[in-house]
Amino acid sequence: MNCLVFSLSPSPSVFVIVLLLFVQVPSSASNSSLFTDCSNQFVCGDISTGFPFWGAGRPSACGIPELELKCENDIARMSINQVAYRVLEIKHEFKILRIAREDYSAGLCPPQLENSTFNPKVFDPVIGYTNLTFIYGCVVTPIVGIPLPGLFTCKINDTDGQNGYIQGGAAGPGDCYGSVFVPVPFTNSPLIWNVTDLEELLKEGFEVRWKFDSAACEECNRSSGVCGINNVTNQTTCYCPDQSSGSKTCALPGMCLNFS
């Protein structure tokens, strides 16, 4: 309804519409800046992205709440369920995000123990990845008599040299102090039990798929709008160059009603 109306035979209603346009401008100025703001790409190092992500120059209305990105020293980061990740790659066509845990970037002993969990409403696991569990603070060697590859030591609960070991799957700590599971690329190679190789593998990260369906956004984009999220309804909305928002697409000038 905010499209420009041209008519060869002006009628009083056209003047009313034109008047309404001018009256609406101040009250909807913020929507206009959302069009501008959400047209900004998030650019950080090698990462460049738009919807459904927000952060930096993109206000929260430009993306879904869980997908906030930050840029620090050309490194894109995000936090998912209290765990800080480095964002290594975003594959828009597959809705895939490759991320690596920040706390494991310097070794296998994170300052705090947190599992890599993902809200199933927001993320799906990606085929080709499997969980690996790090078990910390084992007072006794876990399985007596069987030599365990992948043993390491960490300072845990203020005590140096606590034993830790690696186990497949998403496991609990058993008799040990705590455990952390992290997805890693699925591999049947025993190399994964080599702690040095494992540290490298963790730096390469793992993939998760965001579930958000942006089909509505493509329509919005085709109508020269930019997609965003209405923070009251949590639905996608289209911010338009003419300052309107709230519907799925922007009105195209050629599609205006003829009031004559």
Ligand X SMILES: *[C@@H]1O[C@H](CO)[C@@H](O)[C@H](O)[C@H]1NC(C)=O
Which helix or strand (DSSP H or E) is residue 98 part of?
strand 96-101
**Smaller CB distance to ligand X: residue 11 or 48?**
48
Instruction: Count CA atoms closer than 13 A to 230's CA, side-chain side.
Output: 12
User: How far is the C-alpha of 230 from the C-alpha of 220, rounded, in Å?
Assistant: 14
Among 10, 168, 246, 253, binds ligand X (CB under 6 A): 246
Can you tell me which residue has the tokens 């090698």? Answer: 46
CA 212 to chain centroid, in Å, comes to 10
Q: Which stretch binds ligand X (CB under 6 A): 12-20, 37-45, 100-108, 113-121?
A: 113-121
Residue bearing tokens 């828009």: 92
Between 65 and 253, name the residue whose CB sits nearer to ligand X: 65
**Least distance in Å: CB of 87 to ligand X?**
17
Q: How many helices (H) and strands (E) does the chain have?
A: 4, 14
Pairing of strands 123-125, 83-91: unpaired
C-beta of 72: minimal distance to ligand X in Å? 24
Near ligand X by CB under 6 A: residue from 31, 162, 163, 167? 31
Residues 6+ apart with CB under 8 A from 23: none
Closest CA to 80 of 183, 161, 174: 183
Nearest approach in angstroms of CB 73 to ligand X is 27
What's the closest the beta carbon of residue 9 comes to ligand X, in angstroms?
A: 27
How many chain residues interact with ligand X (CB under 6 A)? 36
> Could you give the C-alpha distances from 62 to 172, 199, 204, 235, in angstroms and in order?
38, 35, 28, 11
- Coil, strand or helix: which one is 96? strand
Rule CB under 6 A: say whether 107 interacts with ligand X: no
Stretch that binds ligand X, among 68-76, 160-168, 239-247, 251-259 (CB under 6 A): 239-247
Tell me which residues in 172-231 interact with ligand X (CB under 6 A).
172-173, 177-181, 183, 194, 196-197, 221, 230-231
Residue number, 68 or 76, with CB nearest to ligand X = 68
Shortest separation between residue 75's beta carbon and ligand X, angstroms: 23
* Residue 114 is a binding residue for ligand X (CB under 6 A): yes
Give the shortest CB-203-to-ligand X separation in angstroms.
13
Q: Return the number of the residue (87 or 201) whose C-beta is nearest ligand X.
A: 201
Cα dist. 243→30, 31, 251 in Å? 8, 5, 11
Q: Which amino acid is at 226?
A: V
Q: How far is 225 from 252, CA to CA, in rounded Å? A: 10
Q: Copy the structure tokens of residue 60.
A: 């929260």
CB of 124: closest distance to ligand X in angstroms?
A: 9
Nearest position to ligand X, beta carbon: 172
SS3 196: helix
Positions in 55-94 near ligand X (CB under 6 A): 61, 65
In the complex, the residues that contact ligand X under the rule CB under 6 A are: 24, 28, 31, 50, 61, 65, 113-115, 125, 129-131, 157-158, 170, 172-173, 177-181, 183, 194, 196-197, 221, 230-231, 233-234, 243-246
